[in-house]
A and B are shown apart, each in its own frame.
Chain A
Amino acid sequence: MSEVTAIERPEEKRDEVESAVVRFAGDSGDGMQLTGTQFTLTAALAGNDLATFPDFPAEIRAPAGTTFGVSAFQINFGARRIMTSGDDLDVLVVMNPAALITNLSDVKPGGIVIADTGSFTDRNLAKAGYDGNPLDDDSLDKYRVVKIDMSRLTVEAVKDYGLSNKDALRSKNMWALGLVYWMYGRRRKASTDWLNAKFEKRPEIAGANIAALNAGHAFGETAEMPAEIGGYNIPAAEIAPGLYRTVTGTDAIALGLLAGTRLANLGLTFCSYPITPASALLHQLAAMKEFGVVTFQAEDEIAAVGAAIGASYAGSLGVTSSSGPGIALKMEAIGLAIATELPLIIVNSQRAGPSTGMPTKTEQSDLYQAVFGRNADAPLPVISVSSSTDGFEVAIEAVRLATKFMTPVMLLTDGYLANASEPWLIPDMADYAPFEVKFRTDPKDFQPFTRDDDTLARPWVKPGTPQLAHRIGGIERADGSGHISYDADNHQKMTDLRAAKINGIADDIPEQEIDQGEAGASLVVVGWGSTYGPISRAVNNMRNEGFNVAHIHLRYIWPLPRNLGDLLKGFGQVLVPEMNKGQLVTLLRAQYLVAAEGFNKVNGKPFLINELETAIRGRLEN
């Protein structure tokens, strides 16, 4: 079968739309993540802006056909700036009844549901909890349902490749992808190239998958589709020119950590213990050995942070990473790094909790833990990532702060950002000013706890440096000499100095800017972390409707930017949406005595744009 490009189709059949949200959902074994990734790549190549969200089951091998074994991949792509992976679905592709029952409520009224009838067997219907077949009754009347026996059509399409029925059915996802490619006038070349490369050693598998992809595409083309479901055209978005790739938040942080240590001219020693959704960072950095990155999978989170501290003590940059439960285990050691004033980066990929909670679901409920969660007065800077691509800048900033101020830095990201991807204008490292670390080597008047006049940072000395042998530790250190000291006045002074050093970071970071809208607006929405996308879009929509609303998004959680208090006091109302029970809002109220109001949800899912619009509208329309 030859590839027919969408360009050859009569254009009048295609409706132009600004953006669309498509979700592929099926059994864990149906290859939905691969399908989504391929669709993403093709959308990017077509010049769309986009955001994606993979949603996979917590169980590794959930029984086939069950609701808890459903794996889904969502993409929002468009001709305009895309801020989130999308609220409601325009198109839902379901490969079995379980995928239908778990995903249907997210489809817009009038949205398209494409179902593989071949998998709607009595057995699968029963496993999903259906009494009858929803494809046969009126329960889906709200939607435009396309019933296709994709299973049978796939088996037919690949029959020349001599595969078993089971193996043939593995190409079903490519059949579905081909059909959706047709719907959006997409070229198949990137995916066929990818299949040929991936199955280079097994050409029959590559051939079968390509045949299925082409068959799905041809199905749309040969007008076998219901008349009311035509093709769509989503033009390229206006995007800054340059070279792009997609990155997940994890990719961006991994690259940013390496970029940061290169700018600081330091080795990177990354120590971690596996935990969802943080493990991917360990996996990525473990594969970067040609850059001299040393990774250590420790026996537990405590050992991981311990080894990172040991590495920093020895003159490399120690970085550790985990999710909330693991961060809890690291806290005593983080206190040691605060006390001994060593650089360290702790990356927290937050997940829904407490305890094991919902490991694969997102939340931003570790802000208290990050800012306050240690024994004694133990301040450290906390910074947060607001989009997948932002991880690169934030990781570089973490390295800069840790080394400039000789302090542990907590970097907050979350389960959504860890997996969600978006296009990234690949940066040019020449645009980044190096911040090379100067280790102390001069023995003249050396004392381990003297301080830089500006930053209050103590000197960093590599063991092995001639004439600078000294001892440090967690017992309170005498100001200057660092000798053990139980002196009351000294403890007061050292505690004050540690706090002043961290507070002083506020003078080193940029003042808070307003992301959208004007100072003094009737209402400001203040967010942090991964809520950036939905807040930004919601505020944009409300402003287009004429509401006087602004958006402020914080990167720096502690210390807060020095102008933030005055800025907030100028707005009529302050609304703080968070995926927790109200943590930043408490911090803002405590710091500034402002009447900030929380808007909170913890259902494991990112905010929807319309939830935020409703909240804003409710406060501005009386």
Chain B
Amino acid sequence: MNVQTAPEKLTAKDYATDQEVRWCPGCGDYAILKSVQRTLADLQADPEQTVFVSGIGCAARFPYYMETYGFHTIHGRSPAIATGVKLANPELDVWVVGGDGDMLSIGGNHTMHVLRRNVDLQILLFNNEIYGLTKGQYSPTSHIGTRSPSTPFGSVDRPVSAAQFAIGAGGRFVARSVDILQKHLPVVLKRAYENKGASFVEIFQNCLVYNDAVFSHFTEKSVQADMQIHVEHGEPLIFGTESNKGLRMKNDVLELEIVTIGEDGVTEGDILLHDETNRPLAMLLASMQPPAFPVALGVLYCDPAPTYDGAVHDQVNAIKDEKGEGDFDKLLRQGHTWEV
């Protein structure tokens, strides 16, 4: 009798390569790597249909550690290169990984266009608010006053918010998580994977060496509950140690306010429900900043739209259907011809 054995289930380990991981010990990138490997195992993603494309930076070393296809490219250009991969083979599952410098500084233009085109990719931006690989210069996400080798007296330029940028650029899926949130991050990654289109995930990542604790004001265990709000579609926007704080739209102005359930006659029914298809709301959530507001984490915005790579191939196929498969000899003889 034949014994049918079920195909072996892949575990997180099966997605790890034998390459020695070279991030600094304690770097937030390790935690993200673990989360991604776990997510792929949960999804039983086919490693051979999966491609990791990255630019340059500490974050961008990522593909070397994933037992999938991988392409470590050049600084800032990974969104463009990944677009080409999807144009050539839309069937592949393509993840793009890069840092805040890679994707918002040198490659900001490509990030904008990959989002507005809605190329079917998972884009993971590891935001450590610093240039790690080049030894700690400030980055376009660094807050004003960041002291770094290139700004010894503190930076003076205003930072960009990755999530707001992504929503503004026309991204149809924008989410946020934190390296150390090992329960939250895989859930967000899974949502990103399931969304067809450009799924943008900003991951706050601690650079232990050059920008340690820059997010501690909302990631420290002691402040997490009050300084983070984990948004979920259809659920009230409630947070706080006692789960009694909530977000509400102000009357008359397009602004959010924090209210306390049980105070001033506020009930749970007064709290705004998260609607991830509501773009203005997503923008308001993305713009919240401590200490006045908690940092919004989770899927801030998800409103799927047709993908660019899909539309390109649909058009090619429609034209093939309409005109028939191209006849090259006919093409060579196109226009006026004459016999000599």
- Determine whether B335 belongs to the interface, using a CB cutoff of 8 Å to chain A: yes
Of B48, B81, B87, B334, the residue contacting A465 (CB under 8 A) is B48
Chain B residues with Cβ below 8 Å from A307 are: 80-81, 83-84, 87
Least Cβ–Cβ distance between A243 and chain B, in angstroms: 5
Are A306 and B328 interface neighbours, CB within 8 A? no
- Determine whether A618 belongs to the interface, using a CB cutoff of 8 Å to chain B: no
Are B109 and A309 interface neighbours, CB within 8 A? no
User: Which candidate, A21-29, A310-318, A601-609, is the interface stretch facing chain B?
Assistant: A310-318
**Per-position binary interface string of chain A over residues 23-60, scored 1 when its CB falls under 8 Å from any chain B CB and 0 otherwise:** 00000000000000000010011010000000000000
**Per-position binary interface string of chain A over residues 445-472, scored 1 when its CB falls under 8 Å from any chain B CB and 0 otherwise:** 0000000000000000011111111111
**Considering the chains assembled together, what is the distance between the CA atoms of A290 and B333 in angstroms?**
16
Least Cβ–Cβ distance between A600 and chain B, in angstroms: 35
- Determine whether B250 belongs to the interface, using a CB cutoff of 8 Å to chain A: no
Using A313-B81, A471-B63, A484-B64 as known contacts, say yes or no to A245 and B335 having CB atoms under 8 A apart.
yes
Chain A residues with Cβ below 8 Å from B319 are: 289-290
**Per-position binary interface string of chain B over residues 329-340, scored 1 when its CB falls under 8 Å from any chain A CB and 0 otherwise:** 101111111111
- Determine whether A500 belongs to the interface, using a CB cutoff of 8 Å to chain B: no
Within 8 A of A (CB), among B310-340: 312-313, 315-316, 319-320, 323-326, 328-329, 331-340
> Chain A residue with minimal CB distance to B54?
A473
**Considering the chains assembled together, what is the distance between the CA atoms of A316 and B74 in angstroms?**
20
Chain A residues with Cβ below 8 Å from B84 are: 269, 271, 296, 306-314, 318
- Determine whether B70 belongs to the interface, using a CB cutoff of 8 Å to chain A: yes
- Determine whether A298 belongs to the interface, using a CB cutoff of 8 Å to chain B: yes
Are B328 and A299 interface neighbours, CB within 8 A? no
Of A244, A309, A314, A336, the residue contacting B89 (CB under 8 A) is A314
Least Cβ–Cβ distance between B75 and chain A, in angstroms: 8
Are B72 and A472 interface neighbours, CB within 8 A? yes
Chain B residues with Cβ below 8 Å from A267 are: 88
Of A244, A303, A304, A308, the residue contacting B339 (CB under 8 A) is A244
Are A471 and B109 interface neighbours, CB within 8 A? no
- Determine whether B39 belongs to the interface, using a CB cutoff of 8 Å to chain A: no
Of B51, B71, B339, the residue contacting A242 (CB under 8 A) is B339
> Chain A residue with minimal CB distance to B49?
A464
- Determine whether A262 belongs to the interface, using a CB cutoff of 8 Å to chain B: yes
Chain A residues with Cβ below 8 Å from B109 are: 299-300, 303
- Determine whether A255 belongs to the interface, using a CB cutoff of 8 Å to chain B: yes
Are A471 and B64 interface neighbours, CB within 8 A? yes
- Determine whether B5 belongs to the interface, using a CB cutoff of 8 Å to chain A: no
> Chain A residue with minimal CB distance to B119?
A307
Chain B residues with Cβ below 8 Å from A475 are: 72
Chain B residues with Cβ below 8 Å from A243 are: 333, 337-340
From A44, A243, A271, A303, name the one whose CB has the most chain B CB atoms within 10 angstroms: A303
From A244, A309, A463, name the one whose CB has the most chain B CB atoms within 10 angstroms: A463
**Considering the chains assembled together, what is the distance between the CA atoms of A335 and B74 in angstroms?**
10
**Considering the chains assembled together, what is the distance between the CA atoms of A190 and B112 in angstroms?**
50
- Determine whether A132 belongs to the interface, using a CB cutoff of 8 Å to chain B: no
Using A290-B325, A303-B113 as known contacts, say yes or no to A244 and B337 having CB atoms under 8 A apart.
yes
Chain B residues with Cβ below 8 Å from A289 are: 315-316, 319-320
Are A245 and B333 interface neighbours, CB within 8 A? yes
Residues of chain A at interface, number, CB under 8 A: 70
Least Cβ–Cβ distance between B74 and chain A, in angstroms: 5
> Chain A residue with minimal CB distance to B75?
A332
- Determine whether A483 belongs to the interface, using a CB cutoff of 8 Å to chain B: yes
Least Cβ–Cβ distance between B119 and chain A, in angstroms: 10
Chain A residues with Cβ below 8 Å from B328 are: 258-259, 262, 291, 429
Are A315 and B88 interface neighbours, CB within 8 A? yes
**Considering the chains assembled together, what is the distance between the CA atoms of A289 and B87 in angstroms?**
13
Are A290 and B323 interface neighbours, CB within 8 A? yes
**Per-position binary interface string of chain A over residues 235-265, scored 1 when its CB falls under 8 Å from any chain B CB and 0 otherwise:** 0000111111110000000010011001000
Within 8 A of B (CB), among A282-299: 288-294, 296, 298-299
> Chain A residue with minimal CB distance to B52?
A471
**Per-position binary interface string of chain B over residues 234-268, scored 1 when its CB falls under 8 Å from any chain A CB and 0 otherwise:** 00000000000000000000000000000000000
Of A292, A294, A333, the residue contacting B77 (CB under 8 A) is A333
Using A289-B320, A309-B84 as known contacts, say yes or no to A471 and B17 having CB atoms under 8 A apart.
yes
Of B67, B68, B85, B325, the residue contacting A311 (CB under 8 A) is B85
- Determine whether B110 belongs to the interface, using a CB cutoff of 8 Å to chain A: yes
Chain B residues with Cβ below 8 Å from A354 are: none
- Determine whether A302 belongs to the interface, using a CB cutoff of 8 Å to chain B: yes
Of B19, B63, B73, B320, the residue contacting A483 (CB under 8 A) is B19
- Determine whether B53 belongs to the interface, using a CB cutoff of 8 Å to chain A: yes
Are A336 and B73 interface neighbours, CB within 8 A? yes
Are B48 and A469 interface neighbours, CB within 8 A? yes
Least Cβ–Cβ distance between B84 and chain A, in angstroms: 3
Are A427 and B332 interface neighbours, CB within 8 A? yes
- Determine whether A118 belongs to the interface, using a CB cutoff of 8 Å to chain B: no
Least Cβ–Cβ distance between A168 and chain B, in angstroms: 28
Least Cβ–Cβ distance between A60 and chain B, in angstroms: 25
Are B326 and A291 interface neighbours, CB within 8 A? yes
Chain B residues with Cβ below 8 Å from A226 are: none
Least Cβ–Cβ distance between B62 and chain A, in angstroms: 10
Chain B residues with Cβ below 8 Å from A467 are: 48
Are A471 and B72 interface neighbours, CB within 8 A? yes
**Considering the chains assembled together, what is the distance between the CA atoms of A290 and B313 in angstroms?**
11
Using A255-B332, A269-B87, A303-B110 as known contacts, say yes or no to A298 and B80 having CB atoms under 8 A apart.
yes
Chain B interface (Cβ within 8 Å of chain A)?
Answer: 17, 19, 47-49, 51, 53, 56, 63-64, 66-74, 77, 79-89, 91-92, 109-110, 112-113, 312-313, 315-316, 319-320, 323-326, 328-329, 331-340
Chosen A-B contacts, 15 in total, with CB atoms closer than 8 Å, are: A243-B337, A243-B339, A245-B335, A255-B332, A267-B88, A309-B73, A313-B71, A313-B85, A313-B88, A336-B73, A427-B332, A471-B72, A473-B64, A474-B73, A475-B72
Question: Given A303-B80, A313-B84, 5 more contacts at CB 8 Å?
Answer: A245-B334, A306-B80, A429-B332, A469-B69, A471-B66
Chain A interface (Cβ within 8 Å of chain B)?
Answer: 41, 44-45, 47, 190, 239-246, 255, 258-259, 262, 267, 269, 271, 288-294, 296, 298-300, 302-304, 306-316, 318, 332-333, 335-336, 340, 426-427, 429, 462-475, 483-484
